[in-house]
């Protein structure tokens, strides 16, 4: 038996955060909406860190840091491949020079 995770809309998340900002306690808001209090804190941090892109998408949206990290990994991989190919080319050139 699999448990289906609940999905919350952008509007719902913003509404919950507004309730907390209006002075309602996190614990009380979490009970009323049947949420875990740490989830509200996570939403708040996400909104404060990425105000223009917070809650966009279905959980697969990239953050800037994740995209940068992915591109840095790709650059590193390409650098290693480039160095390897240069070594192989150099060895082939040396072999060609040794043939009579």
Please tell me the predicted confidence (pLDDT) of residue 67.
83
DSSP secondary structure string, 61-95? PPPHHHHHHHHHHHHHHHHHHHHHHHHHHHHHHHH
What pLDDT shows up at residue 58? 59
Q: What is the pLDDT along the chain (100 residues), one digit of tens a residue?
A: 678 888 888 899 999 999 999 999 999 999 999 999 999 999 999 888 877 777 876 555 556 777 888 899 999 999 999 999 999 999 999 988 876 6
Give the pLDDT score at 66. 78
Claim: this prediction has a pTM higher than 0.75: no
Is residue 50 within 8 Å of residue 65, measured between CB atoms?
A: no
Please report the pLDDT score of residue 85 as a whole number: 97
Angle at 56 between CA 10 and CA 32, to 5 degrees: 25
């Amino acid at each position: 038996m699999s448990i289906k995770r609940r999905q919350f809309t952008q509007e719902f998340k913003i509404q919950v955060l507004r309730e907390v900002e209006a002075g309602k306690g996190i614990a009380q808001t979490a009970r009323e909406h049947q949420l875990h209090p740490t989830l509200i804190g996570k939403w708040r941090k996400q909104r404060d860190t990425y105000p223009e892109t917070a809650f966009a998408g279905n959980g697969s949206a990239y953050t800037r840091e994740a995209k940068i990290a992915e591109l840095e990994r790709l650059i590193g991989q390409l650098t290693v491949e480039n160095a390897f190919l240069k070594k192989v080319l150099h060895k082939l050139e040396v072999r060609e020079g040794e043939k009579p």
